[in-house]
Amino acid sequence: MTRSLQAVAYHRPSALESGPLGQRLGLETSRGATPAGRVDHPRFFSGFVTEPRTAAAALLAVADVAAARYWQPQRPASYDPVVTGSGDRLRFESFSGCGGVLARLDILSEGLDGGEVGHGTTNVDVNHPLREALSRVGSDDPLHLRVGPEELAVTTVDGAVIEKKVPLPDRWLRGFAEAQVVAAGFELRAELPAAEAVRFLRGLPRAGARGASRGAMWVVPAGRGLRPTTRPVPGAVCLPGPERLSALQRVLRHATALRVYGPAATDASPLAGAWEAVLPGMRLTLTLSPDAARGFSGEGGVLDALAGAEAAEDAELISVLLAWEPRIDLAELAASAGLSVERVRAALVHLGTSGRVGYDAAEAAYFHRELPYDSDRVERHNPRLKDARALVARHAVTLDGQMATVRAEDGHVHRVRAEGGVLTCTCLWWAQYRGGRGPCKHALAVRLVRRGETGVAGASVEPRTPVTEGDVR
C-alpha cells in the first residue's frame, strides 16, 4: 500500500479550558483552503454550541473513527479530522485507518450561536489530552467553540508551531473520493425513534476474537424498529460489519432518531450504507463500506469519471463556480455553467475524485469542500486507471464495432463488449465482481480509446491484427 507523510502544523495543541464564563473549546487548524486561497491556520468559527454535552460526545465519535482500524486492528491509526466551514454549518469528517468507515458530524446553524461560520477546509487537531477532556464534559454549562486561532495569536505568534508527521495511505485518500460516489446512490430506507434506536444499536453483535468482523447482516423495518432477516427481502437494509457502528454509542443518549440510508437490495451481495444519528442541532453519520475487509478505495465508482475527457473539461468549469455551498443546487449550477444537469452531475463526480465535493445523503445533495491534501494523487495512484492508460500507450486495444480486444502484458487476450450500456469483459475481475466494484482495467482502456485518449503524451492508438477467439482467456 502506497503511503506518504503529510506535515500538519498547528500554532498550539487543541484544548478544552474552564473559565468563569464556562468552558472554552479551542480547535486549532492547519494549512487549509479558503475563498482567498491557501491560508495558514484559517479561522472558521468563534461562538457557542447550543448543546455542549452532545457536541462533545459527537466530536469524540468522529475522533474514535479517526483512530480506529475495524479490520486487522493490531495496527493503530491516528488521523486528524477534516473540518469544513460552509457558511451555515461546520462539518467534521474522518476516515478509519482501514478505509472502510467515513464519519461526518454536521453541526447545523441551530446548533451554533453567537458567531458567523466562515468558508474553507483544513485539518483540525484532536489530541489525546483533548479527547480525555471532552469525555469529562458532563454539564450544560456554556461551551464556547473556536475553530481556528485566536485573533491575538494571528498577529503575535512567534513562528513556533506544533508539527505532526502523519502517514497518508493512498487508499485512504481514494476512500474520500469513492464514498461520495457510493452515497449518491443512497435513499432513506428506515427511520427509528430514539427508544427504538437505542434498543437496536445496543443489541448489535460486537467484534469477534481479535477484532474479527461478524460479517454483513440484513435488517428489515418492522413497526417503529428494525428486525433481523436471514436474506435481503424487499425493503431490507444491509448492515455490513455491525461492530463498525460502535462510535454511535457515544451519542445514543442524545439521539432523537436514527436514519438508515442505502441502495435497493437486488441480491445477497453486501451493500454499503449510511447510519445517521439525529441529534439536537446536529447530525452524526457513519458511512460503511460493503465489508469490514473492503475499504472504499477499491469500489471503482470514480473510474468512469476519471477516464472521461468531457467530464474532466466540465469539471474545470464547474470548479470555478463552486463557492463552498453547503448544498449544491444542480439546476442552478447547470444554468450558470450553460451545461445540462447530467453533465454537471458527471463533473461533480469527477471533482469528487479529488475530494473537492462530498455527498450528504440526509439532504440528497453534494456539498463543496477542498481536502487539504495533494488531490492529484487520487488519479495518479489509482492502480486500475494507471494500468488502463499503460495498456492504451502500448497499443494493446483493438476496436471492432461494439467489440474490442485487449492484449494484456502477460499475453492473455480479453474481449470487451458493450451490453446495455455496460462494458463487460472476459477477465477474472469481471467474472468475480460483475461490475459491482467498477470497471476492470481492460474496459477502462477500451473506454479511453473510444474517447480518443492515448494514455501518455505523444502516444497514438493504432489497429492491431485481430486475434482469434481461441486466444481469449
Q: Scanning the structure block, which residue is given the C-alpha cell 479530522? A: 81
In the numeric block, the cell 488502463 is attached to 388
pLDDT tens, position by position, 199-243: 999 998 876 555 556 678 899 999 899 998 888 888 889 999 899
Question: What pLDDT score does 466 carry?
Answer: 37
Topology classification of domain 181-298: DNA Polymerase III; Chain A, domain 2 (3.10.150)
- Cβ-Cβ contacts under 8 Å for 333 (sequence gap 6 or more): 318, 321, 344
Alpha helix segments (H runs only) across 68-145? 128-135
Per residue in 434-457, is it b (16+ CB within 10 Å) or e — as a string?
eeebbbbbbbbbbbbbeeebebee
What are 169-197's pLDDT values in tens digits? 666 777 887 888 889 889 999 999 999 99
Residue 4's pLDDT band, with cuts at 50, 70 and 90, is low
pLDDT by residue (tens digit) across 288-313?
A: 998 888 777 655 556 666 666 677 78
Mean pLDDT over residues 247-252, rounded?
A: 95
Give, in order, the Cα–Cα distances in Å from 354 to each of 101, 105, 111, 142, 170.
18, 21, 29, 38, 12
pTM of the model: 0.81
User: Do 169 and 98 meet the contact criterion of CB atoms below 8 Å apart?
Assistant: no
pLDDT of 455 > 60? The answer is no
Of the pLDDT bands very low, low, confident and very high (cuts 50, 70, 90), residue 467 is: very low
- The secondary structure of 61-83 as a DSSP string is HHHHHHT--SSSTTS----PPEE
Rg (CA), the chain: 23
| Average pLDDT of span 94-106 | 91
Q: What letter does residue 205 receive in the DSSP assignment?
A: P
The span from the CA of 85 to the CA of 100, in Å, is 25
Mean pLDDT of 54-80: 83
* Cβ–Cβ < 8 Å for 49, 112: yes
Which is it for strands 237-240 and 273-279: parallel, antiparallel or unpaired?
Answer: unpaired
Task: Compare 315 and 118 and report the one with higher pLDDT.
Answer: 118
Please give the average per-residue pLDDT across 154-177, as a whole number.
61
pLDDT value, residue 155: 35
CA–CA distance, 335 with 177 (Å, rounded to integer): 26
Please count the other Cβ atoms lying within 10 Å of the Cβ belonging to residue 56. Answer: 25
Quick one: which of 83, 76, 93 has its CA closest to 128?
Answer: 76
The least confident of 100-104, 138-142, 331-335 is 138-142
The region, left, alpha or beta by phi > 0 then psi within -120 to 50, assigned to residue 141 is beta
What is the predicted pLDDT for the residue at 78? 61
What is the identity of the amino acid at 85? G
Mean pLDDT of 363-375: 83
What residues are paired with 26 via a beta bridge?
15, 146
CB atoms within 10 A of CB 462: 8
Confidence of residue 456 (pLDDT cuts 50, 70, 90): very low
pLDDT digits (tens, 9 = 90+) for 257-295: 999 999 988 778 888 999 999 999 999 999 999 888 877
Per-residue pLDDT at 378: 54
pLDDT level of residue 461 (50, 70, 90 thresholds): very low
pLDDT in tens, 17-61: 987 778 999 999 999 999 988 999 999 999 999 999 999 999 999
What the block records as the C-alpha cell of 131 is 479527547
Task: Give mean pLDDT, residues 134-159.
Answer: 71
pLDDT over threshold 50, residue 156: no
pLDDT at 380 > cutoff 70: no
Q: What is the predicted pLDDT for the residue at 154? A: 36
Whether 435 has a pLDDT exceeding 90, the answer reads no
User: With contact defined as beta carbons under 8 Å apart, do 86 and 328 qualify?
Assistant: no
CB crowding 386-413: b at 16 or more within 10 Å, else e: ebbbebbbebbbbeeeeebbbbbeeeeb
